[in-house]
Amino acid sequence: MSDHNLKFKEIKQNKFLTMSFAKQQKLLWNEWRGSILSEQLRENIFFACEFILANDVECMLADYVKMHAPSLSDQVWIATHSAELLQHRKLVRVANLLAQDVFQQKAIETIHEKASTVPLPCETREFLSMQEAMEWLLKEK
């Protein structure tokens, strides 16, 4: 990722999430980990959405490689709440970095299906390679 001259500043760090922001590129990188209880998951999702709104984030890398698939009720909550909060923002691209785990991939797919009822201004794609995700995020908008 150094080829893109990214200078990330850590915004939030806890057991389940590391949020880093490259201000110049308006790129947010959320690294999710482990099996997250509903309360912590929702609190972290809300924090990330608020950060996106407050900082005019244009691109986001949502790294789910080390995260266990959330429950179906959490998937629905994430889809509806994050879509509502982000529908009128400057977000242009969201890259979801997925593990090889088919259950996790299905969970992310479910979140996108539920969120699709609220039109979002951004393009979203799934990736299995960090390099491909970053190249897509940073290509000319």
Question: Contact at 8 Å (CB) between 100 and 62?
Answer: no
Number of domains forming the structure of the chain? 1
Q: How many CA atoms lie within 13 A of 52 on its CB side?
A: 28
Question: Alpha-carbon distance 81 to 118, whole Å?
Answer: 10
pTM above 0.85, yes or no: no
Residue 51 has a pLDDT of: 94
Per-residue confidence (pLDDT) for residue 11, from 0 to 100: 96
State the residue range of the domain holding 77: 2-138
The one-digit pLDDT tens for each residue of the chain (141 residues) are: 445 678 999 999 999 999 999 999 999 999 999 988 999 999 998 899 899 989 999 999 999 889 888 887 887 787 777 777 676 568 889 898 887 766 666 766 666 665 555 555 678 888 989 999 999 999 875
Distance of alpha carbon 25 from alpha carbon 33, whole angstroms? 24
Of 67, 64, 30, the residue nearest 48 (C-alpha): 30
pLDDT at 101: 67
CATH assignment of the domain containing 12: 3.40.50.10600
Q: What is the pLDDT of residue 96?
A: 86
What pLDDT sits at residue 58? 92
33 membership: H or E segment, kind and range: strand 27-34
Instruction: Judge residue 7's burial from the number of C-beta atoms within 10 Å of its C-beta, 0-12 exposed, 13-18 middle, 19 or more buried.
Output: exposed
Question: Locate tokens 């201004």: which residue?
Answer: 121
